[in-house]
Amino acid sequence: MFSEHWRFIAGAGWLSLSIDNFSGGNYVGRASIEYLVGKRWSFGGAINLAKANVDIKDIEDAEGNPEFTARVDMSVNDFSVFARVRF
């Protein structure tokens, strides 16, 4: 907390996975600032970042011939505004 009414929250995560011909990874990050109005109410804003990628290599047909290879690479970055009620 910066003061009695302001707080800053940050977080990050990462995942990597490989199974047979499939491999991929994902990372996420978030940074937010929040103003506490009272005991129960607050509002704030956040920056959210996410990136995911998947690689699929040499999926074979019934005769053993390479049939499918693909790569997916996706990013989602946004800004959110929120209000929070605590119980």
Q: Encode pLDDT of 9-64 as tens digits.
A: 999 999 999 998 889 999 999 999 999 998 899 999 999 999 999 998 888 888 88
Provide the pLDDT for residue 39: 86
Coil, helix or strand for 20?
coil
**Residue 43 falls inside a structural domain:** yes
Residue 45 falls inside a structural domain: yes
Q: Which domain holds residue 30?
A: 6-85
Is 1 contained in some domain? no
Query: How many independent structural domains does the chain possess?
Result: 1
pLDDT value at residue 76? 93
Given this model, what pLDDT does residue 1 score? 64
**What pLDDT score does 86 carry?**
87
What's residue 33's pLDDT?
96
What SS3 state is found at 86?
A: coil
